[in-house]
Amino acid sequence: MSRILYSLCGADSERPFSPHCWKVVMALDHKGLEFTELPGPFTAIPSLENGFSKTVPVLRDGDLLVRDSFDIALYLEEAYPDRPSLFGGEGGKALARFVEGFSQTVLHPAITKMALLSIHGMLADKDQAYFRASREARFGKTLEEVAAEAEAEKAAFPAKVEPLRHMLKFQPYFGGETPLFADYIVFGAFQWGRITAGLSLFAEDDPVGHWFDRCLDLFNARGRTVTPA
Amino acid sequence: MSRILYSLCGADSERPFSPHCWKVVMALDHKGLEFTELPGPFTAIPSLENGFSKTVPVLRDGDLLVRDSFDIALYLEEAYPDRPSLFGGEGGKALARFVEGFSQTVLHPAITKMALLSIHGMLADKDQAYFRASREARFGKTLEEVAAEAEAEKAAFPAKVEPLRHMLKFQPYFGGETPLFADYIVFGAFQWGRITAGLSLFAEDDPVGHWFDRCLDLFNARGRTVTPA
């Protein structure tokens, strides 16, 4: 098969956890495209495909290489127009950038604090050293100091997804009656927290948790093939 | 003319301020549809069109009455399909609900605290009594107690629009190269704060402020026909 998704894992290659790679897994399934996922550790990324990208996901589709989850989704929409749409038109494509903005600036910073130390624990020695150095430089704090904020973040998290609760009063998915790439953007964030830190962020009766469950069930429960930490 | 938009004002009918009514003004302009705006005070709403709605906006389009800003936009899209689209397809329609969720649950609570006392000050006596009683019951606080949080809300506000800043790195509007109803949803919230409390929420170099300026300039600068408080 000529379609390869390079993704991210720790010491256990059966547990790929990157939120951005999960977006692409779901996008490929949504399009009904077969692919081989090749998860690798942080420190292997720079040598993938002759140094094509500093980050994963990277998609090889035959002779073509594409990087960045949103750009990959745009590529798939363009290259496979007869498969189910990931955006539902130009308006959906544009507004998906706002959903990405919400995920990157509201969800990711919170989940990072909750999951950082668990992610570190999943990595092989060499990657632990890279991860600790790069993340401590980014935060200006030790991983342990960041993790000390985890409980406060957990308590604050349900309020941060109020915009989803409002939306879910009207429809079961970001995409309306069926999911779109915007769903996979936010799914990726929650799945990242679930796999790395076993985060269960929602009360039993929370519509946001029900939405996440629906996403985990998509494509023969692809999301459940990796169990919670 | 048979198209009437019932909207909201205080003692001065030249200063309609409701965020939801502004969404509809922009949507009607976007569709290039002429209309007469009839702003009225809070206490007049229950008797509009024989008690058709407890809230404005209400749109009369010939023999038809429609209420709720989102429902009005859906109606306009359906009734005037040959005019410029407000949603850019089914995906854009679905994702606009998430933008509404963000506006209602993140922006509105913050702007409410910043503008509540100023709104009260714009109203005629009878409406002031209604407004104070209903809002104090809703908040469980006096208007003055809510307003005491205004400065803290102002300081916290720039961080709340980070999702917009991310999006604006890629495109000038929620809708992409040109605005859609999703733009007017958030525009309505900022315009409400601008008209009632003169809120100027963004630093000069903030892309979010630049986006708001672009929205104020749309349709012969319709948004600027009402000056800041």
Output the DSSP codes for B98-138. Answer: HHHHHIIIIIHHHHHHHHHHHHHHHS-HHHHHHHHHHHHHH
Q: Do B99 and A96 touch (CB under 8 A)?
A: no
- Across the interface, which of A85, A91, A164 has its CB nearest the CB of B101? A164
Q: How far is A167 from chain B (nearest CA, A)?
A: 5
B187 within some domain: no
Q: Do B162 and A105 touch (CB under 8 A)?
A: yes
A107 within some domain: yes
Same domain, A10 and A65: yes
CA B10 and chain centroid, separation: 15
Give the contacts of B2 (CB within 8 A, at least 6 positions apart).
Answer: B60, B61, B62
Q: Are the C-beta atoms of residues B215 and B179 closer than 8 Å to each other?
A: yes
Say if A211 is an interface residue toward chain B (CB within 8 Å): no
Residue A41, domain extent: 3-79
Same domain, A203 and A111: yes
Same domain, A159 and A213: yes
Please give the backbone phi and psi of residue A123, each rounded to the nearest 5 degrees, phi first: -90, 155
Say if B90 is an interface residue toward chain A (CB within 8 Å): yes
Q: Cis peptide leading into B158, omega within 30 of 0?
A: no
Give the contacts of B54 (CB within 8 A, at least 6 positions apart).
Answer: B45, B46
A103 within some domain: yes
Amino acid at A145: E
Structure tokens at A202: 């929602």
- Across the interface, which of A91, A98, A180 has its CB nearest the CB of B167? A98
Chains A, B: CB contacts under 8 A, how many? 134
Say if B179 is an interface residue toward chain A (CB within 8 Å): no
Closest of B112, B122, B121 to residue B157, by C-alpha: B112
Q: Do B92 and A97 touch (CB under 8 A)?
A: no
Q: How far is B228 from chain A (nearest CA, A)?
A: 27
Say if B91 is an interface residue toward chain A (CB within 8 Å): yes
Band the pLDDT of B2: cuts 50, 70, 90: confident
Cα distance between residue A183 and residue A86, in whole Å: 10
Cα torsion at A61, A62, A67, A70 (round to 10°)? -30
A70, A74, A98, best to mutate vs chain B, most B CBs in 10 Å: A98
Q: How far is B100 from chain A (nearest CA, A)?
A: 8
Q: How far is B102 from chain A (nearest CA, A)?
A: 5
Please give the backbone phi and psi of residue B67, each rounded to the nearest 5 degrees, phi first: -120, 165
Residues of A numbered 132-161 whose beta carbons fall under 8 angstroms of chain B's beta carbons: which are they? none
Mean pLDDT across chain B = 97
Amino acid at A130: Y
Going by their DSSP bridges, the two strands B3-8 and B58-61 should be labelled as: antiparallel
Same domain, A28 and A63: yes
Q: Which residues of A touch B162 (CB under 8 A)?
A: 101, 105-106
B138 within some domain: no
Q: Which residues of B touch A96 (CB under 8 A)?
A: 91, 95
Give the contacts of A68 (CB within 8 A, at least 6 positions apart).
Answer: A20, A53, A55, A57
Say if A167 is an interface residue toward chain B (CB within 8 Å): yes
Q: Do A97 and B175 touch (CB under 8 A)?
A: no
Going residue by residue through chain A (229 aa), what tens digit of pLDDT does each one get? 589 999 999 999 999 999 999 999 999 999 999 999 999 999 999 999 999 999 999 999 999 999 999 999 999 999 999 999 999 999 999 999 999 999 999 999 999 999 999 999 999 999 999 999 999 999 999 999 999 999 999 999 999 999 999 999 999 999 999 999 999 999 999 999 999 999 999 999 999 999 999 999 999 999 999 999 8
Please, what is the end-to-end C-alpha distance for chain A in angstroms? 31
Q: Which residues of B touch A173 (CB under 8 A)?
A: 94
Q: Do B100 and A176 touch (CB under 8 A)?
A: no
H-helix or E-strand spanning residue B212? helix B207-221
Q: Are the C-beta atoms of residues A41 and A89 closer than 8 Å to each other?
A: no
B37 within some domain: yes
CATH number at residue B41: 3.40.30.10
Q: Do B88 and A87 touch (CB under 8 A)?
A: no
A50 within some domain: yes
- Across the interface, which of A93, A101, A174 has its CB nearest the CB of B164? A101
- The helix-helix angle for A19-30 and A207-221 (nearest 10°) equals 60
Looking at the structure of chain A, the number of domains it has is 2
A26 within some domain: yes
Give the contacts of B203 (CB within 8 A, at least 6 positions apart).
Answer: B158, B209
CB atoms within 10 A of CB B161: 27
pLDDT given for residue A1 in this prediction = 57
Same domain, A105 and A23: no
A198 within some domain: yes
ipTM score assigned to the predicted complex: 0.98
Biggest alpha carbon–alpha carbon distance for chain B: 49
- Across the interface, which of B89, B97, B99 has its CB nearest the CB of A171? B97
Say if A109 is an interface residue toward chain B (CB within 8 Å): no
pLDDT in tens, A154-195: 999 999 999 999 999 999 999 999 999 999 999 999 999 999
Band the pLDDT of B187: cuts 50, 70, 90: very high
Whether pLDDT at B1 is above 80: no
